[in-house]
Protein backbone atom coordinates (compact mmCIF):
# COMPACT_ATOMS: atom_id res chain seq x y z
CA UNK A 1 0.00 0.00 0.00
CA UNK A 2 1.66 3.12 -1.26
CA UNK A 3 1.16 6.39 0.55
CA UNK A 4 1.10 8.12 -2.84
CA UNK A 5 -1.78 8.14 -5.23
CA UNK A 6 -2.35 9.50 -8.70
CA UNK A 7 -5.41 11.55 -9.47
CA UNK A 8 -6.93 12.31 -12.79
CA UNK A 9 -7.45 16.02 -13.52
CA UNK A 10 -8.17 15.61 -17.21
CA UNK A 11 -10.62 18.25 -18.39
CA UNK A 12 -9.77 20.66 -15.59
CA UNK A 13 -7.80 23.01 -17.83
CA UNK A 14 -8.15 25.17 -20.89
CA UNK A 15 -5.23 27.07 -22.33
CA UNK A 16 -4.73 30.21 -24.38
CA UNK A 17 -1.60 31.07 -26.36
CA UNK A 18 0.31 28.24 -24.72
CA UNK A 19 2.27 25.42 -26.36
CA UNK A 20 2.40 23.38 -23.21
CA UNK A 21 -0.22 22.59 -20.59
CA UNK A 22 -0.48 21.27 -17.06
CA UNK A 23 -0.33 17.52 -16.58
CA UNK A 24 -3.58 15.60 -16.71
CA UNK A 25 -2.73 13.60 -13.64
CA UNK A 26 -1.50 14.72 -10.25
CA UNK A 27 0.46 12.65 -7.82
CA UNK A 28 -0.17 13.38 -4.21
CA UNK A 29 0.94 11.83 -0.94
CA UNK A 30 -1.39 11.04 1.89
CA UNK A 31 0.24 13.64 4.10
CA UNK A 32 -0.14 16.31 1.52
CA UNK A 33 -3.75 15.60 0.72
CA UNK A 34 -4.56 15.44 4.39
CA UNK A 35 -2.86 18.74 4.95
CA UNK A 36 -4.89 20.32 2.19
CA UNK A 37 -8.06 18.92 3.61
CA UNK A 38 -7.21 20.18 7.05
CA UNK A 39 -6.51 23.66 5.77
CA UNK A 40 -9.65 23.73 3.65
CA UNK A 41 -11.87 22.51 6.40
CA UNK A 42 -10.37 24.97 8.84
CA UNK A 43 -11.09 27.70 6.34
CA UNK A 44 -14.66 26.56 5.98
CA UNK A 45 -15.25 26.40 9.72
CA UNK A 46 -13.54 29.72 10.28
CA UNK A 47 -15.71 31.48 7.74
CA UNK A 48 -18.88 29.93 9.13
CA UNK A 49 -17.80 31.08 12.56
CA UNK A 50 -17.29 34.58 11.22
CA UNK A 51 -20.80 34.51 9.85
CA UNK A 52 -22.15 33.60 13.29
CA UNK A 53 -20.01 36.09 15.14
CA UNK A 54 -21.02 38.79 12.71
CA UNK A 55 -24.65 38.05 13.30
CA UNK A 56 -23.96 38.14 17.04
CA UNK A 57 -22.53 41.62 16.43
CA UNK A 58 -19.03 40.69 17.51
CA UNK A 59 -17.68 41.65 14.11
CA UNK A 60 -18.35 44.99 12.48
CA UNK A 61 -18.11 46.68 9.12
CA UNK A 62 -17.53 44.76 5.92
CA UNK A 63 -16.91 41.05 6.12
CA UNK A 64 -16.39 39.06 2.93
CA UNK A 65 -16.38 35.30 3.32
CA UNK A 66 -14.48 32.76 1.25
CA UNK A 67 -16.48 29.57 1.73
CA UNK A 68 -16.92 27.81 -1.57
CA UNK A 69 -13.59 29.11 -2.86
CA UNK A 70 -11.30 27.26 -0.44
CA UNK A 71 -9.72 25.07 -3.10
CA UNK A 72 -8.26 28.08 -4.83
CA UNK A 73 -6.20 29.43 -1.94
CA UNK A 74 -5.32 25.94 -0.78
CA UNK A 75 -4.15 24.81 -4.19
CA UNK A 76 -2.06 27.93 -4.68
CA UNK A 77 -0.56 27.43 -1.27
CA UNK A 78 0.33 23.85 -2.10
CA UNK A 79 2.00 24.79 -5.36
CA UNK A 80 3.93 27.74 -4.03
CA UNK A 81 7.21 28.15 -2.18
CA UNK A 82 7.01 30.22 0.97
CA UNK A 83 9.07 32.92 -0.73
CA UNK A 84 6.61 33.29 -3.58
CA UNK A 85 4.63 36.49 -3.07
CA UNK A 86 0.89 36.56 -2.67
CA UNK A 87 -1.60 39.40 -2.63
CA UNK A 88 -5.37 39.27 -2.82
CA UNK A 89 -8.52 41.34 -2.42
CA UNK A 90 -10.60 42.12 0.68
CA UNK A 91 -11.79 38.47 0.57
CA UNK A 92 -8.62 37.55 2.37
CA UNK A 93 -9.25 35.73 5.64
CA UNK A 94 -8.29 32.37 4.25
CA UNK A 95 -5.16 33.50 2.48
CA UNK A 96 -4.10 35.09 5.74
CA UNK A 97 -4.65 31.75 7.37
CA UNK A 98 -2.69 29.90 4.70
CA UNK A 99 0.16 32.34 4.95
CA UNK A 100 1.04 31.86 8.54
CA UNK A 101 -1.93 33.07 10.47
CA UNK A 102 -3.76 31.22 13.20
CA UNK A 103 -7.53 31.17 13.35
CA UNK A 104 -7.32 33.18 16.56
CA UNK A 105 -5.25 35.89 14.92
CA UNK A 106 -7.64 36.12 11.98
CA UNK A 107 -10.82 36.09 14.00
CA UNK A 108 -9.18 38.25 16.66
CA UNK A 109 -8.58 40.89 14.03
CA UNK A 110 -12.26 40.80 13.15
CA UNK A 111 -13.06 41.24 16.82
CA UNK A 112 -10.78 44.27 16.80
CA UNK A 113 -8.48 42.87 19.45
CA UNK A 114 -4.83 43.66 20.01
CA UNK A 115 -3.66 40.13 19.24
CA UNK A 116 -5.38 40.26 15.89
CA UNK A 117 -3.40 39.82 12.72
CA UNK A 118 -3.13 43.60 12.31
CA UNK A 119 -3.45 44.53 15.99
CA UNK A 120 -7.12 45.30 15.47
CA UNK A 121 -6.35 48.18 13.18
CA UNK A 122 -7.10 46.64 9.84
CA UNK A 123 -10.22 44.58 10.21
CA UNK A 124 -11.61 42.14 7.68
CA UNK A 125 -9.97 43.59 4.58
CA UNK A 126 -6.48 44.23 5.93
CA UNK A 127 -4.28 41.28 6.70
CA UNK A 128 -0.56 41.34 5.92
CA UNK A 129 2.40 39.18 6.77
CA UNK A 130 5.62 40.56 5.43
CA UNK A 131 7.77 37.75 6.81
CA UNK A 132 5.64 35.25 4.90
CA UNK A 133 5.46 37.25 1.68
CA UNK A 134 1.77 37.92 2.07
CA UNK A 135 0.93 41.49 1.13
CA UNK A 136 -2.81 41.81 1.72
CA UNK A 137 -5.79 42.22 1.82
CA UNK A 138 -6.80 45.29 -0.19
CA UNK A 139 -10.02 47.24 0.19
CA UNK A 140 -9.90 48.89 -3.20
CA UNK A 141 -11.04 46.72 -6.06
CA UNK A 142 -8.18 46.07 -8.47
CA UNK A 143 -5.57 48.03 -6.57
CA UNK A 144 -3.76 44.93 -5.35
CA UNK A 145 -2.86 43.84 -8.85
CA UNK A 146 -0.20 46.41 -9.79
CA UNK A 147 1.10 46.03 -6.24
CA UNK A 148 1.44 42.31 -6.84
CA UNK A 149 3.29 43.10 -10.05
CA UNK A 150 5.68 45.05 -7.83
CA UNK A 151 6.49 41.82 -6.03
CA UNK A 152 7.21 40.20 -9.37
CA UNK A 153 9.41 43.16 -10.22
CA UNK A 154 11.30 42.78 -6.94
CA UNK A 155 11.73 39.06 -7.52
CA UNK A 156 13.32 39.73 -10.86
CA UNK A 157 15.38 42.62 -9.50
CA UNK A 158 16.84 40.41 -6.80
CA UNK A 159 17.34 37.27 -8.89
CA UNK A 160 20.60 36.31 -10.53
CA UNK A 161 20.51 36.04 -14.30
CA UNK A 162 19.64 32.54 -15.42
CA UNK A 163 18.33 31.53 -12.01
CA UNK A 164 14.78 30.45 -11.46
CA UNK A 165 12.82 33.33 -9.97
CA UNK A 166 10.26 33.35 -7.22
CA UNK A 167 6.88 34.27 -8.59
CA UNK A 168 4.13 36.58 -7.46
CA UNK A 169 0.42 36.00 -7.63
CA UNK A 170 -2.29 38.61 -7.38
CA UNK A 171 -5.77 37.23 -6.88
CA UNK A 172 -8.75 39.29 -7.95
CA UNK A 173 -12.36 38.79 -8.81
CA UNK A 174 -14.25 38.62 -12.08
CA UNK A 175 -15.71 42.00 -11.17
CA UNK A 176 -12.28 43.50 -10.72
CA UNK A 177 -10.91 42.03 -13.91
CA UNK A 178 -11.78 44.96 -16.16
CA UNK A 179 -10.11 47.55 -13.92
CA UNK A 180 -7.73 49.49 -16.08
CA UNK A 181 -4.83 49.31 -13.68
CA UNK A 182 -4.82 45.54 -14.11
CA UNK A 183 -4.18 45.95 -17.79
CA UNK A 184 -1.51 48.54 -17.05
CA UNK A 185 0.24 46.04 -14.81
CA UNK A 186 -0.16 43.27 -17.38
CA UNK A 187 1.45 45.39 -20.06
CA UNK A 188 4.48 46.13 -17.89
CA UNK A 189 4.82 42.53 -16.76
CA UNK A 190 4.70 41.39 -20.35
CA UNK A 191 7.15 44.03 -21.56
CA UNK A 192 9.61 43.25 -18.81
CA UNK A 193 9.06 39.48 -18.53
CA UNK A 194 8.13 39.61 -14.89
CA UNK A 195 7.29 36.39 -13.04
CA UNK A 196 3.70 37.39 -12.41
CA UNK A 197 0.51 35.39 -12.22
CA UNK A 198 -2.74 37.27 -12.70
CA UNK A 199 -5.22 35.04 -10.94
CA UNK A 200 -8.89 35.72 -11.53
CA UNK A 201 -11.17 34.01 -9.08
CA UNK A 202 -14.22 33.84 -11.28
CA UNK A 203 -17.10 33.24 -8.90
CA UNK A 204 -19.51 34.53 -11.55
CA UNK A 205 -20.57 37.68 -9.73
CA UNK A 206 -19.08 41.00 -8.82
CA UNK A 207 -21.36 41.80 -5.91
CA UNK A 208 -24.81 41.49 -7.48
CA UNK A 209 -23.70 41.75 -11.09
CA UNK A 210 -23.22 38.60 -13.09
CA UNK A 211 -20.26 38.34 -15.41
CA UNK A 212 -22.30 38.77 -18.58
CA UNK A 213 -23.42 42.16 -17.33
CA UNK A 214 -20.02 43.53 -16.32
CA UNK A 215 -17.49 41.97 -18.64
CA UNK A 216 -17.44 41.91 -22.38
CA UNK A 217 -14.90 39.08 -22.24
CA UNK A 218 -16.14 36.20 -20.17
CA UNK A 219 -13.27 33.87 -20.94
CA UNK A 220 -11.15 35.58 -18.37
CA UNK A 221 -8.10 33.51 -19.11
CA UNK A 222 -8.02 35.20 -22.51
CA UNK A 223 -8.14 38.71 -21.11
CA UNK A 224 -4.39 39.04 -21.29
CA UNK A 225 -4.73 39.16 -25.06
CA UNK A 226 -1.23 38.06 -26.17
CA UNK A 227 -0.40 36.96 -22.64
CA UNK A 228 -0.77 33.21 -22.21
CA UNK A 229 -3.76 32.08 -20.23
CA UNK A 230 -4.90 29.07 -18.29
CA UNK A 231 -8.37 28.24 -17.06
CA UNK A 232 -8.56 25.91 -14.09
CA UNK A 233 -11.38 24.13 -12.33
CA UNK A 234 -11.15 26.07 -9.12
CA UNK A 235 -13.30 23.67 -7.15
CA UNK A 236 -10.70 20.93 -7.60
CA UNK A 237 -7.80 21.56 -5.29
CA UNK A 238 -5.56 19.11 -7.12
CA UNK A 239 -6.18 20.80 -10.43
CA UNK A 240 -5.47 24.16 -8.83
CA UNK A 241 -2.25 22.83 -7.41
CA UNK A 242 -1.14 21.35 -10.71
CA UNK A 243 -2.19 24.38 -12.70
CA UNK A 244 -0.36 26.72 -10.37
CA UNK A 245 2.70 24.50 -10.41
CA UNK A 246 2.65 24.83 -14.16
CA UNK A 247 2.17 28.59 -14.00
CA UNK A 248 4.91 29.00 -11.42
CA UNK A 249 7.28 26.96 -13.53
CA UNK A 250 6.43 28.96 -16.63
CA UNK A 251 6.60 32.41 -15.08
CA UNK A 252 9.51 31.68 -12.78
CA UNK A 253 11.60 30.59 -15.74
CA UNK A 254 11.51 34.05 -17.27
CA UNK A 255 8.77 33.52 -19.82
CA UNK A 256 6.80 36.48 -18.56
CA UNK A 257 3.39 36.66 -16.96
CA UNK A 258 0.35 34.42 -17.20
CA UNK A 259 -3.37 34.94 -16.78
CA UNK A 260 -4.99 32.21 -14.71
CA UNK A 261 -8.73 31.93 -14.35
CA UNK A 262 -10.15 29.89 -11.49
CA UNK A 263 -13.72 28.71 -12.03
CA UNK A 264 -15.17 28.92 -8.57
CA UNK A 265 -18.20 29.98 -6.56
CA UNK A 266 -18.93 31.84 -3.38
CA UNK A 267 -21.57 30.33 -1.14
CA UNK A 268 -22.19 33.40 0.94
CA UNK A 269 -23.47 36.72 -0.29
CA UNK A 270 -20.91 39.28 -1.34
CA UNK A 271 -20.53 40.53 2.20
CA UNK A 272 -22.54 40.14 5.35
CA UNK A 273 -25.06 42.76 4.27
CA UNK A 274 -25.90 40.85 1.10
CA UNK A 275 -28.16 37.81 1.42
CA UNK A 276 -26.80 36.76 -1.95
CA UNK A 277 -30.10 35.46 -3.19
CA UNK A 278 -31.68 38.33 -5.09
CA UNK A 279 -29.46 38.20 -8.16
CA UNK A 280 -28.94 34.44 -8.31
CA UNK A 281 -31.39 31.77 -7.41
CA UNK A 282 -31.19 29.33 -4.55
CA UNK A 283 -31.10 26.41 -6.94
CA UNK A 284 -27.87 27.62 -8.42
CA UNK A 285 -26.29 27.75 -4.99
CA UNK A 286 -27.72 24.43 -3.92
CA UNK A 287 -26.66 22.78 -7.16
CA UNK A 288 -23.11 24.01 -6.84
CA UNK A 289 -22.95 22.90 -3.23
CA UNK A 290 -24.20 19.46 -4.03
CA UNK A 291 -22.21 18.81 -7.18
CA UNK A 292 -19.05 20.88 -6.97
CA UNK A 293 -18.23 21.44 -3.33
CA UNK A 294 -14.45 21.62 -3.02
CA UNK A 295 -14.43 19.94 0.38
CA UNK A 296 -16.58 17.05 -0.69
CA UNK A 297 -14.19 16.63 -3.56
CA UNK A 298 -11.12 16.28 -1.34
CA UNK A 299 -12.96 13.96 0.97
CA UNK A 300 -13.81 11.77 -1.96
CA UNK A 301 -10.17 11.79 -3.04
CA UNK A 302 -9.08 10.76 0.45
CA UNK A 303 -11.48 7.88 0.49
CA UNK A 304 -10.95 6.80 -3.12
CA UNK A 305 -7.20 6.67 -2.62
CA UNK A 306 -7.81 4.77 0.57
CA UNK A 307 -5.89 7.34 2.50
CA UNK A 308 -8.69 7.55 5.04
CA UNK A 309 -12.07 6.10 5.78
CA UNK A 310 -15.20 8.16 5.96
CA UNK A 311 -15.23 7.67 9.71
CA UNK A 312 -11.68 8.85 10.10
CA UNK A 313 -12.60 11.94 8.16
CA UNK A 314 -15.55 12.57 10.43
CA UNK A 315 -13.29 12.37 13.46
CA UNK A 316 -10.89 14.74 11.89
CA UNK A 317 -13.65 17.20 11.12
CA UNK A 318 -14.80 17.02 14.69
CA UNK A 319 -11.31 17.79 15.90
CA UNK A 320 -10.96 20.75 13.55
CA UNK A 321 -14.31 22.16 14.58
CA UNK A 322 -13.16 21.97 18.19
CA UNK A 323 -9.84 23.60 17.37
CA UNK A 324 -11.57 26.43 15.62
CA UNK A 325 -13.87 26.93 18.58
CA UNK A 326 -10.89 27.00 20.92
CA UNK A 327 -9.13 29.53 18.74
CA UNK A 328 -12.17 31.74 18.72
CA UNK A 329 -12.37 31.63 22.49
CA UNK A 330 -8.70 32.53 22.64
CA UNK A 331 -9.29 35.42 20.29
CA UNK A 332 -12.09 36.67 22.48
CA UNK A 333 -9.81 36.76 25.49
CA UNK A 334 -7.45 39.18 23.84
CA UNK A 335 -7.94 42.74 25.02
CA UNK A 336 -8.91 45.61 22.78
CA UNK A 337 -6.04 47.83 21.70
CA UNK A 338 -5.08 50.47 24.25
CA UNK A 339 -5.82 54.05 23.33
CA UNK A 340 -2.20 54.86 22.61
CA UNK A 341 -2.42 52.49 19.62
CA UNK A 342 -4.38 55.21 17.91
CA UNK A 343 -1.17 57.12 17.37
CA UNK A 344 1.12 54.16 16.84
CA UNK A 345 2.41 52.85 13.50
CA UNK A 346 1.62 55.92 11.50
CA UNK A 347 5.26 56.22 10.50
CA UNK A 348 7.87 53.49 10.54
CA UNK A 349 11.31 54.24 11.92
CA UNK A 350 12.91 51.39 10.03
CA UNK A 351 11.91 48.47 7.86
CA UNK A 352 11.47 45.93 10.62
CA UNK A 353 7.85 45.04 11.36
CA UNK A 354 6.37 46.97 14.29
CA UNK A 355 9.01 49.67 14.15
CA UNK A 356 7.90 53.15 14.99
CA UNK A 357 6.68 54.40 18.30
CA UNK A 358 3.70 56.37 19.38
CA UNK A 359 3.55 59.65 17.58
CA UNK A 360 1.25 61.98 19.32
CA UNK A 361 0.15 64.47 16.78
CA UNK A 362 1.19 68.05 17.43
CA UNK A 363 -2.31 69.01 18.28
CA UNK A 364 -4.95 66.66 19.56
CA UNK A 365 -8.50 67.60 20.10
CA UNK A 366 -9.34 66.03 23.43
CA UNK A 367 -12.13 66.58 25.91
CA UNK A 368 -9.48 67.26 28.46
CA UNK A 369 -7.99 70.67 27.85
CA UNK A 370 -4.70 69.67 29.43
CA UNK A 371 -4.20 66.97 26.85
CA UNK A 372 -5.07 69.09 23.95
CA UNK A 373 -1.92 70.93 23.09
CA UNK A 374 1.17 69.15 22.07
CA UNK A 375 4.41 70.08 20.45
CA UNK A 376 6.68 67.28 19.38
CA UNK A 377 4.67 64.73 21.26
CA UNK A 378 4.94 66.64 24.49
CA UNK A 379 2.53 68.94 26.08
CA UNK A 380 3.20 72.50 25.15
Partner 1 sequence: IDMAVREAICQGLDEEMERDENVFIMGEEVAQYQGAYKVTKGLFQKYGDKRVIDTPITEMGFTGLGVGASFHDLKPVIEFMTINFSMQAIDQVVNGAAKQFYMSGGDLACPIVFRGPNGFSAGTAAQHSQCFGAWYSSCPGLKVVSPYSSEDAKGLIKAAIRDPNPVMVLEHELMYGISFPMSDEAQSKDWVVPIGQAKIEREGTDVTIISFSKPVGLALEAAEVMATKGVSCEVINLLSLRPLDRKTIIASAKKTGRVVSLEQGWPQCGISSEIAAILMETDAFNYLDAPMERVTGADVPMPYAADLEKAALPQLEDVVAAIERTTYRSMAA
Ligand X SMILES: Cc1ncc(C[n+]2csc(CCOP(=O)(O)OP(=O)(O)O)c2C)c(N)n1
Binding segment for ligand X (CB under 6 A), chosen from 48-56, 169-177, 308-316, 363-371, is: 169-177
Q: Quick one: CA dihedral 239, 206, 124, 150, positive or negative? A: positive
Cβ proximity to a copy of itself: between 64 and 222 the closer is 222
Q: Could you write out the DSSP letters of every residue in 260-322?
A: EEEE---SS-SSTT--S-SSS-HHHHHHHHHHH-HHHHHHHHHHHTTSS-HHHHHHHHHHHHH
Q: Please identify the residue of the shown chain whose CB is closest to the bound ligand X.
A: 173
Q: Rounded to an integer, what distance in angstroms lies between the CA atom of residue 129 and that of residue 140?
A: 19
Binding segment for ligand X (CB under 6 A), chosen from 166-174, 183-191, 232-240, 275-283, is: 166-174
Cβ proximity to ligand X: between 241 and 270 the closer is 270
Least distance between partner 1 and beta carbon 13 (Å): 27
Contact between 175 and ligand X by CB under 6 A: the answer reads yes
Task: Return the percent helix, strand and coil in the chain, to nearest 5.
Answer: 45, 15, 40
Between the two ends of the chain, the Cα-to-Cα distance in Å is: 77
- The strand pair at 4-8 and 25-29 is best described as antiparallel
Applying CB under 8 A, which residues contact a copy of itself? 178-184, 186-187, 190-191, 213-217, 222-223, 225-227
Binding segment for ligand X (CB under 6 A), chosen from 8-16, 197-205, 225-233, 323-331, is: 197-205
Site string for ligand X, 101-140 (x = CB under 6 A): --------------------------------------xx
Query: Of residues 26, 176, 194, 302, which one binds ligand X by CB under 6 A?
Result: 176
Query: Of residues 47, 174, 261, 327, which one binds ligand X by CB under 6 A?
Result: 174
Q: Rounded to an integer, what distance in angstroms lies between the CA atom of residue 57 and that of residue 201?
A: 29
Cβ proximity to partner 1: between 238 and 251 the closer is 251
Q: Quick one: CA dihedral 210, 212, 214, 215, positive or negative? A: positive
- Interior CA angle at 12 toward 11 and 16, to 5°? 95
Contact between 92 and ligand X by CB under 6 A: the answer reads no
Least distance between partner 1 and beta carbon 339 (Å): 6
Least distance between ligand X and beta carbon 48 (Å): 18
Amino acid sequence: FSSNATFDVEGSFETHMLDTAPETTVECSKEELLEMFELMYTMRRMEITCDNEYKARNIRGFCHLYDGQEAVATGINAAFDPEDSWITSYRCHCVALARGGSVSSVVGELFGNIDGYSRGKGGSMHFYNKANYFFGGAGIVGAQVPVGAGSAFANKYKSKPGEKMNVSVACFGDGAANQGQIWEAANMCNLWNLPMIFCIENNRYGMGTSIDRHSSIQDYYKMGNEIPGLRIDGMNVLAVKEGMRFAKEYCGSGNGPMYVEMMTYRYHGHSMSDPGTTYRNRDEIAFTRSTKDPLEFVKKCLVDAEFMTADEIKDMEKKIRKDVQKEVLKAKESPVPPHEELFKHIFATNLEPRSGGIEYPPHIRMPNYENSFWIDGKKE
